[in-house]
Chains A and B, each alone.
Chain A
């Protein structure tokens, strides 16, 4: 499904990605873990070209992502769901409009878009809040709107950029719950950047550990936590044990 090879990205003298290789199979849920600044967010932003990599290749569904330009790139992005750490909702739009507006702009009938948006909102338990503004919602609710917005296009792959990092610990649960349901029910390919070790253990098919722009270890959750080979994996294991 997703093949990342030898991916490089640097910001000035700082190297964010240093020859990353990653393969994600269709329907697979891959959790990427690692310390802050190790390149996790840069990696998944490169996947939908929110960040332009300096080198390497990204193949998604057989498409060379880095070769896409203009309308093709936009069409590609519509097939990739992206959930942001800070929700990134459009403040002036209602919850419903936030979820449906890109469908309409992509050419979908307004009514159909509305129906699909309401369905997506229902799925994340926010149908009743459709007419509210993002500012009127809690952080957890806003993130669920963000998830609904990503889901509404039925994406081939969903990219999650630390979806619970900006939430109060009390609100983290409701988001993780939705995420787990989605993983189990949709069967959509997912790449999730998170520090939630227990969630990874429960939901992920595979965990990838990154450090200093490189993939340092990967494997099935039970396997990597049972016999961690890298220092990062051992740290996360300790976290899990505590």
Chain B
């Protein structure tokens, strides 16, 4: 087979291979470079050159103009030589790049951004993009200063900047970034935060539990040379905890605010949690009243209204419960359902309170007037008693005179005496006595005590009147107005939603955070130990890193661009190789196969695997693809040089197998050329290649072709 190439065609083939490789590499790398350059330029316009800006200020769109003026003022005043560039506005938020002059890129300045820019109108926050840097996210506050000291001692590190929970490590130069990143990761690997979480409701003394936990750790890992410390931080990850706790409280509030549903199943009826019942009884107009079983307690069950509204009543209302089947269809009777509308009761009570207060205010006024009247009556009564005493003396004297005979009462005197006795009897509250006895009983009345009582009542009424009933009524009215205007169905759905969310969350309770430096520990193994030693089977342990190195967004984008360039170059190299094989080399292999067919029988079976033509095709494919891929700096993930070589070989073999389909050769012309005594190279140049597919070989051949 190699004889075919000996008479000169090998030179053509070698030239073709070299030019194909060079052209393929140039093509693949050129296209990839163009893509890289285009996206790079676009990014530069959006994000600036690498290291050109140090922070992005996020500003509300409406305050952008004022903010830019203020930023210019700050720049001129505090950072002469600053750079300012307004870039994308996204979702009503303008993003402004601010570049500090090199001498201002210090830790002091970068940690005081808020003090410099805090007064910028519309400022929503900022993002540090100072370069070259390594960003460590989520640095635990308990270990931050220790980490800073260690990282700042690393070669190639200028300083570190605290940015919220993050730590930004500034490198000496872009070239040292990789080295710094590796060193930082090695430091972080030495630290582990072990968190002990207790369920909600457990009150834990974090210091005491932390100390005990440390003792357990030290006892277990003696000789490991590790360092342990209690670094429990209340602020660490607190936001979510607070939110979850609030959700739990809200769910409980909604639960107590909803109507209470008690189900008494009939004999033999089994209910299940989550089952729905449709109720028959007094309901508000609208949808059917449907409740969902939320709990089973012996023979009773509790539920929650998920559709419709019960009739508003302060009393318990009785319903007939039926199973809900399919789309609102009523199934078998399951029992009686009792609904207490707590929400209505509360509203009713508030309304009654307001009415009571209004009545109380009126009552106080009337009571005050009544006391005043009573005091006047008492004074008049007291004066009347005095006059009666005088009359009594006069009557006694008259009676004594009559008795002695010194005096003889006239008819008028007798009549007055009778009248006075009757009056005194009346004043003595119906006590029928003789005239003297009645007057005595009146004298025995404690008028002063009565007056003191009236004074006391008067003071109490005055105190009541001093109460700001109007304010109380206003606030109770406010409370009434602010009570959630929710139906039972809405409450039920809200509770279900909250439960769904909480179902996917760990409800936080107290937590203890331990720092482990040195030999890492297995938190799942330790969980059992802590559960036993701390006598709390509900305790859980979690392990986190003290911080995580995160590639900065810009660096990541540029890295991805480089990767994309390599991937594009790699893919183009493969495509170019395939095109070259089909357009050029298929013709050669098609000719070789045709010539061979006239000489000997084709190999069959396993012998085809060692067919020299297949090996030659594989070799050509391997050479082409490997060379083009390498020269074009292709880099497809998971595709190493060996894979590229194998892929090239496979493409070459495939080409040989399908050569006649890709580029058929006219066998008659070929035979005629042989019969006319043409050499192989002449056959290729004059007969085979000219009518072949228009590839590089065809183009190069025109330089040598005579006919």
Chain A positions within 8 Å of B, measured between CB atoms, are 11-12, 48, 50-52, 69-71, 74-78, 80, 82, 84, 86-93, 97, 101-102, 104-106, 149
Q: Closest CB of chain B to A234's CB: distance in Å?
A: 34
Given A82-B675, A101-B686, A102-B677, output 11 extra A-B contacts at Cβ < 8 Å: A52-B599, A70-B6, A76-B677, A77-B674, A84-B672, A87-B668, A90-B669, A90-B686, A93-B707, A104-B706, A149-B672
Residues of B within 8 Å of A48, CB to CB, are 675
Interface flags for B643-673 (1: CB within 8 Å of A; 0: not) read: 0000000000000000000000010110111
| Chain A residues with CB below 8 A from B518, complex form | none
Check B678 against A105 for contact (C-beta < 8 Å): yes
CA distance A192 to B697 in the complex (A): 40
Q: Is the CB of B676 within 8 A of A77?
A: yes
Q: Are B677 and A78 in touch, CB under 8 angstroms?
A: yes
Q: How many A-B residue pairs have CB under 8 A?
A: 73
Residue of B nearest to A11 (CB): B601
Q: Cβ of A75 and Cβ of B672 under 8 Å apart?
A: no
Write the B6-50 contact mask toward A (1 if CB under 8 angstroms, else 0): 110000000000000000000000000000000000000000000
CB distance from B475 to the nearest CB of A (A): 105
State the Cβ distance, A162 to closest chain B Cβ, in Å: 14
Beyond A71-B679, A74-B679, A92-B690, whether A50 also contacts B674 by CB under 8 A is: yes
Q: Compute how far the CA of A87 lies from the CA of B671 in the bound complex, rounded to whole angstroms.
A: 11
Q: Which 8 A-B pairs have the closest CB atoms?
A: A78-B677, A77-B677, A88-B672, A102-B676, A82-B675, A88-B668, A74-B677, A101-B707
Can you name 5 A-B residue pairings with CB atoms under 8 Å? A74-B678, A84-B668, A84-B672, A88-B675, A102-B673
A207 to B149 CA separation, bound complex (whole angstroms):
109
Bound complex: CA A84 to CA B677 (Å): 15
Query: For window 101-154 of chain B, which residues contact chain A by CB distance below 8 Å?
Result: none
Q: Is B691 an interface residue (CB 8 A)?
A: yes
Query: Does B600 interact with chain A (Cβ within 8 Å)?
Result: yes
Q: State in angstroms the CA–CA spacing of A142 and B204 once bound together.
A: 107
Chain B interface (Cβ within 8 Å of chain A)?
A: 3, 6-7, 598-601, 666, 668-669, 671-679, 682, 686-687, 690-691, 706-707
- Given A50-B598, A70-B6, A91 and B666 touching (CB < 8 A)? yes
CA distance A71 to B598 in the complex (A): 19
B600 to A77, Cβ gap below 8 A? no
| Contact between A105 and B675, CB atoms less than 8 A apart | no
B707 near A77 (CB under 8 angstroms)?
no
Q: Is the CB of B679 within 8 A of A90?
A: no
Chain A neighbourhood of B682, CB < 8 A = 105
**Contact present for B666 and A12 (CB under 8 Å):** no
Residue of A nearest to B691 (CB): A92
Pairwise interchain contact A105-B706, C-beta atoms closer than 8 A? yes
- Inter-chain contacts of B691 with A (CB < 8 A): 91-92
- By a CB distance below 8 angstroms, the chain A residues around B687 are 90
User: For residue B690, which residues in chain A have a CB less than 8 angstroms away from its CB?
Assistant: 92
Known: A70-B3, A92-B690. A12 touches B601 (CB 8 A): yes
Q: In whole angstroms, what is the CA distance A101 to B705 when docked?
A: 11
